[in-house]
Amino acid sequence: MFLAVLYCLLWSFQISDGHFPRACASSKNLLAKECCPPWMGDGSPCGQLSGRGSCQDILLSSAPSGPQFPFKGVDDRTYGQMNNGSTPMFNDINIYDLFVWMHYYVSRDTLLGGSEIWRDIDFAHEAPGFLPWHRLFLLLWEQEIRELTGDENFTVPY
């Protein structure tokens, strides 16, 4: 058993030597579409002769679906068509609005999936998680007030 584990461990080290050297993966070399200086192991670019990698052009398909877009129906090239800037993707809110929304979100009706909704249970106020959740909520609130005022010793008296 020990020999089998040792063999698997040593075999995994053999597989891991086929990576691109850091010099090949620098942003300068990637933008220039040049592999890298000759690798000192065999003298070929990126160690191509040793099986460490190879330089080749990347061909992207212009088809709407294909292997480059594995999620059917989710094509990132259509994002510009869906939102042309006329509808904001994010609301410009302040910290107070964020905390109001967080508190509302945990105390709203519970969506169970499908059409099931629990309307009578408020997990933020009527459940065992009341104290830990509100303690975290107040700690986050204190931290934001500390950053706003610059007073590192600010605390809420509770």
What is the number of alpha carbons within 13 Å of residue 26 lying toward its C-beta?
11
In the predicted model, residues of the chain with pLDDT beneath 50 are 16
What is the number of alpha carbons within 13 Å of residue 118 lying toward its C-beta?
10
Instruction: Please tell me whether residue 27 adopts helix, strand or coil conformation.
Output: helix
pLDDT computed for residue 85 by the predictor? 54
pLDDT computed for residue 75 by the predictor? 58
How far is the C-alpha of 149 from the C-alpha of 158, rounded, in Å?
Answer: 20
Dihedral of CA 109/113/117/118: which sign? negative
Residue listed under structure tokens 């700690």: 139
How far is the C-alpha of 119 from the C-alpha of 116, rounded, in Å?
Answer: 10
* Opening angle at CA 48, ends 42 and 51, nearest 5: 95
pLDDT computed for residue 8 by the predictor? 57
pLDDT computed for residue 112 by the predictor? 76
Single out the residue of 125, 93, 122 nearest to residue 110, CA to CA. Answer: 122
Contact yes or no for 34/55 (Cβ under 8 A): yes
pLDDT computed for residue 69 by the predictor? 54
pLDDT computed for residue 140 by the predictor? 92
For residue range 117-139, what is the model confidence (pLDDT) as tens digits?
878 777 778 888 889 889 999 99
For the record, the structure tokens of 86 come out as 């006329």
